[in-house]
Amino acid sequence: MDARREVIDRLVAAGIPAFVTGSEAMAVLGLGYRATNDIDLVLDLEPAQFDRVLRPAFEPEYLVAALLHVGRRWLSSAIRSRGEVYKADFVIREPDAWGAEAMGRAFEVDDPGLGAVRVSTAEDLLLAKLEFADGDLDGLHGRDIGRLLAARWERLDHAYVRRHAAGLGVADVLAEALRRAGT
Amino acid sequence: MPGPDQFERELMELELHEDPRARAARLASGRWITQLRLWAAMERDGVTEPGARAAFLCHALYPDLSEDLVRRLVEAVRAQAVAGEPPLRRPARAADTVGEALEALMAEFGYPVEA
């Protein structure tokens, strides 16, 4: 079992709902492979509860970073202080329509690497990448967006993606990405 | 309380001191797990036709391939299927993906090697 499973088990034990996003979710969904040694997790947790609930679930075996408010989200990381090298990045969204819906739409898979785990849908992964790309379609997120559109756009819920892309202010980035992907 | 910069330094420090054999085993395991994930995703998505599987694998593993090359690979796989040659098969063990030596290394470091 992947060592990152331990991170998920600690979240489950602490009663913190979460789902996998980012490049790990791309890999779980069969959209590619990147040799990263981190895992990105979206948490359903009030920022005020971070130090009281999450931190004790990981320390002292992990170093847990202070929660930082960046844009519409709070970010933190945990890194295991010894043994296999890996890092978990935590995302807590400010309350918004998309964040709540994405948490509800995440679905459980029996992943060959992580075991039973909740993972982002392809639609929400696309929206997350569009938001993280910050308008830059030439970087890492932009390449993932192109890859996702090329492989899955025909099967995605277009109305859902367009509605939340508009709400997140990335509708123009989506339009440009679709143009580049030739879809 | 450590900040983001310290975390990046810490991660780099750990990576620089990771045992090379452990690193090779970890990366080989990543390649093997990727194969299992691709086949699991194809099953979830109902991708069963040999040509569609070839396209799925190409898009996931070799995104820079031109669509023309992918199309020709798909046609070749379909022709093989029509000719009765063995279709693309889900790998049964890590050696099918990373070779015997790396599978042995994976096993040495406790990584699963069978599907």
Q: One digit per residue, pLDDT tens: chain A, 183 residues? A: 566 889 999 999 999 999 999 989 999 999 887 666 789 999 999 999 999 999 999 999 898 999 999 988 999 999 887 666 678 999 999 989 999 999 999 999 999 989 999 999 999 999 999 998 988 899 888 989 998 998 889 889 999 999 999 999 999 999 999 999 887
Distance, in Å, from the CA atom of A80 to the CA atom of A159, rounded to the nearest integer, reads 41
- Angle of helix A122-133 relative to helix A171-181, nearest 10 degrees, comes to 110
- Angle of helix A158-168 relative to helix A122-133, nearest 10 degrees, comes to 30
Q: Shortest Cα distance from A158 to chain B (angstroms)?
A: 18
Alpha-carbon distances, residue A89 vs A20, A35, A46, B21, B115 (angstroms): 10, 16, 16, 26, 28
Instruction: State whether the Cα torsion A134-A135-A140-A146 is positive or negative.
Output: positive
Query: Is A10 touching B (CB cutoff 8 A)?
Result: no
Q: Shortest Cα distance from B87 to chain A (angstroms)?
A: 20
Return the amino acid letter for A8.
I
Residues of B in Cβ contact (< 8 Å) with A110? 40
Query: Is B41 touching A (CB cutoff 8 A)?
Result: yes
What single-letter DSSP state applies at residue B113? -
User: Is A109 in Cβ contact with B30 (below 8 Å)?
Assistant: no
Distance, in Å, from the CA atom of A21 to the CA atom of A2, rounded to the nearest integer, reads 16
Question: Could you tell me whether strands A38-43 and A18-21 are parallel, antiparallel, or unpaired per DSSP bridges?
Answer: antiparallel
Q: In the structure, how many helices (H) and strands (E) does chain B have?
A: 6, 0
Q: Is the ipTM of this complex over 0.85?
A: no
- Angle of helix B50-61 relative to helix B20-44, nearest 10 degrees, comes to 140
User: Is B2 in Cβ contact with A32 (below 8 Å)?
Assistant: no
Q: Would the pLDDT of B2 be above 60? A: no
Task: Write out the two tokens for B106.
Answer: 């994976």
Contact A7, A56 (CB under 8 A): no
- Out of A155-164, B4-13, B57-66, which region has the weakest mean confidence (pLDDT)? B4-13
Query: Is B3 touching A (CB cutoff 8 A)?
Result: yes
Per-residue pLDDT at B1 = 52
Residues of B in Cβ contact (< 8 Å) with A35? 27, 30
Backbone angles phi, psi at A70, to 5 degrees: -130, 115
Cis previous bond, A95, omega within 30: no
Of B64 and A129, the structure prediction assigns the larger pLDDT to A129
DSSP-assigned beta bridge partners for residue A118: A108
Alpha-carbon distances, residue A104 vs A29, A92, A100, A127, B77 (angstroms): 17, 14, 6, 15, 39
